[in-house]
């Protein structure tokens, strides 16, 4: 998380002095030097042969949503499989969605669904790490992140689309399976490629972005004077530093200064200036306003935005939970696609919707704790992709009649990541040095999903 705190002249950020922060935090700053990043950017541009002005909004359904009750309904399956809700036709003949998605059904031509996605793990942490980094590794016994997130890699290669805008933002915060920033973080790329977190609810009437304003009495001139003084004090340390930590800190501070001093980012976060009728269309709730804020950010020049929507771990009481959550998701997603299309941004903004896994095709008995629900299932899950040049109105792959596993066109998380990188103009085999000094590509395996391009 990029933090900007300018209210005290002595301590830096979390109450530590600049030198203490560097002394204690060298490992956390990462070792990807500016030279590494510039080389990666040059190689990516050379290999892809294009420079794109595309952005991505990733809507993360934290907890693992049921594929059977959302984007892969099975109306002909036995009742214990097909679940509580029926299926409805969409604007695209032959494609069905849950009856709880009537608004998305009307914009089905603007997005596509991958129904054959799988990674075959029911562990929250392994699944989330797969979906957000394209690699496994962590599990419930050891949740430590191991690889950079897709958002961090994209912004390390692409940077911000407009100077002064944060390249990577997580609304209202970055969280995966209770870890913050967890698998949204940059790991060995360095904290400067972690997402910026507003840290408060965009639906709140008093919504403010923490650490974005100067402390009372502190002017931009005084802030710049302080930065100049620190650079003078640190010149000798920087000359003898061979870890890259000081260089990383310089880039970190530059991002912080640009956020505080720039007006563009302040206007982008000012969701209160949005037309009230548009805010109503997205839904006057945290999810709806978070999605609207994501749209404002990519419109202003941010490259990658994630939206956290939690609460999908429904082992029991699925009906009451989904009766609340599915309409909110439906309203926010449909409004986003309609809004992007109306503003001419749909071809420039990729929208991705997914969670860490699906849920068991057969409903349980409530596990003794409530009415029926569904358990963890990594053998079949969905991913929605639309905009950014993705062909809408498509279904990629197919699961068995009971939704148990892919039977046509199986897709892995690496294929999803390769598709996102393709849309954003990033070479998926761009390499960065990890903490051991080994060159590691963005993905180990995977190809862009050709049906969507």
- Structure tokens belonging to residue 423: 């849309």
> In sequence order, what are the beta bridge partners of 117?
381, 411
Give the CA distances from residue 65 to residues 75, 90, 110, 197, 245, in Å, rounded to whole numbers and listed in that order.
Answer: 18, 21, 22, 24, 40
Nearest to 156 by CA among 30, 24, 299: 30
Place of tokens 């972005």: 209
As to burial, measured by CB atoms within 10 angstroms (0-12 exposed, 13-18 middle, 19+ buried), residue 216 is exposed
- Structure tokens belonging to residue 30: 């990462």
Contacts of 103 (CB under 8 A, 6+ apart): 330, 331, 333, 334, 335
- Structure tokens belonging to residue 407: 């039977």
> In sequence order, what are the beta bridge partners of 307?
59, 171
| pLDDT tens by residue, 81-107 | 999 999 999 999 999 999 999 999 999
Element spanning 399, H or E: strand 398-399
Distance CA 359, CA 138 (A): 20
| pLDDT tens by residue, 23-64 | 223 333 344 554 555 555 555 555 655 568 999 999 999 999
What domains does the chain contain, in order, with CATH numbers? 18-452 (3.40.720)
Sign (positive or negative) of CA dihedral 387, 388, 392, 398: negative
Give the CA distances from residue 269 to residues 44, 57, 155, 167, 335, in Å, rounded to whole numbers and listed in that order.
Answer: 31, 15, 19, 14, 19
For the chain, give the mean pLDDT: 85
Place of tokens 């596990």: 367
Concatenating the DSSP letter of every residue in 111-162 gives: EEEEEEE------HHHHHHHHHHS----BTTB----S--HHHHHHHHH--SS
Distance CA 7, CA 16 (A): 13
Helix (H, G, I), strand (E, B) or coil at 331: helix
Q: How many beta carbons lie within 10 A of that of residue 63, not counting itself? A: 21
Concatenating the DSSP letter of every residue in 411-436 gives: B-HHHHHHHHHHHHT--TT-EEE-TT
Place of tokens 């409805």: 88
Distance CA 157, CA 169 (A): 16
Asked whether 255 and 166 are in contact (CB, 8 A), the reply is yes
| pLDDT tens by residue, 105-162 | 999 999 999 999 999 999 999 999 999 999 999 999 999 999 999 999 999 999 999 9
Distance CA 84, CA 106 (A): 22
Q: What is the pTM of this model?
A: 0.84
| pLDDT tens by residue, 256-315 | 555 555 688 889 999 999 999 999 999 999 999 999 999 999 999 999 999 999 999 999
């Amino acid at each position: 998380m990029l933090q900007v705190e300018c209210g005290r002249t002595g301590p830096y950020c979390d109450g530590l002095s600049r030198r203490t922060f560097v002394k204690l935090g060298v490992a956390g700053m990462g070792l990807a030097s500016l030279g590494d990043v510039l080389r990666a950017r040059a190689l990516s541009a050379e290999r892809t042969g294009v420079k794109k002005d595309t952005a991505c909004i990733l809507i993360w359904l934290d907890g693992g949503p049921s594929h059977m009750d959302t984007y892969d309904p099975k109306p002909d399956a036995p009742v214990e499989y097909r679940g509580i809700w029926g299926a409805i036709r969409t604007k695209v003949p032959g494609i069905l969605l849950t009856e709880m998605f009537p608004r998305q059904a009307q914009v089905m031509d603007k997005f596509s669904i991958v129904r054959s996605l799988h990674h075959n793990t029911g562990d929250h942490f392994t699944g989330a790490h797969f979906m957000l980094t394209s690699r496994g590794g962590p599990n419930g016994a050891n949740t430590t992140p191991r690889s950079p997130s897709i958002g961090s890699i994209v912004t390390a290669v692409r940077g911000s689309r407009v100077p002064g805008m944060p390249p990577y933002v997580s609304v209202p915060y970055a969280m995966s399976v209770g870890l913050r920033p967890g698998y949204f973080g940059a790991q060995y790329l360095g904290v400067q490629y972690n997402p910026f977190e507003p840290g408060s609810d965009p639906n709140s009437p008093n919504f403010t972005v923490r650490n974005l304003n100067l402390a009372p009495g502190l002017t931009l001139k005084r802030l710049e004077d302080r930065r100049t003084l620190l650079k003078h004090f640190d010149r000798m340390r920087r000359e003898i530093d061979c870890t890259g930590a000081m260089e990383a800190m310089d880039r970190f501070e530059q991002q912080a200064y640009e956020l505080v001093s720039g007006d563009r980012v302040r206007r982008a976060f000012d969701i209160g200036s949005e037309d009230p009728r548009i805010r109503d269309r997205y839904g006057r709730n945290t999810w709806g306003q978070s999605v609207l804020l994501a749209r404002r950010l990519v419109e202003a020049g941010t490259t990658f935005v994630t939206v956290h929507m939690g609460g999908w771990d429904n082992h029991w009481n699925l009906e009451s939970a989904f009766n609340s959550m599915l309409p909110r998701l439906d309203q926010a997603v449909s409004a986003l696609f309609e809004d992007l299309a109306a503003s001419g941004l749909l071809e420039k903004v990729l929208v991705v919707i997914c969670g860490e896994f699906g849920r068991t095709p057969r409903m349980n008995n409530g596990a003794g704790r409530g009415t029926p629900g569904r358990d963890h299932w990594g053998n079949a899950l969905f991913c929605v992709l639309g905009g950014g040049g993705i062909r809408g109105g498509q279904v990629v792959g197919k699961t068995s009649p009971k939704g148990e596993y892919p039977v046509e066109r199986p897709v892995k998380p690496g294929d999803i990541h390769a598709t996102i990188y393709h849309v954003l103009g990033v070479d998926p085999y761009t390499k960065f040095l990890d903490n051991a000094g080994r060159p590691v590509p963005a993905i180990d395996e995977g190809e862009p999903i050709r049906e969507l391009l």
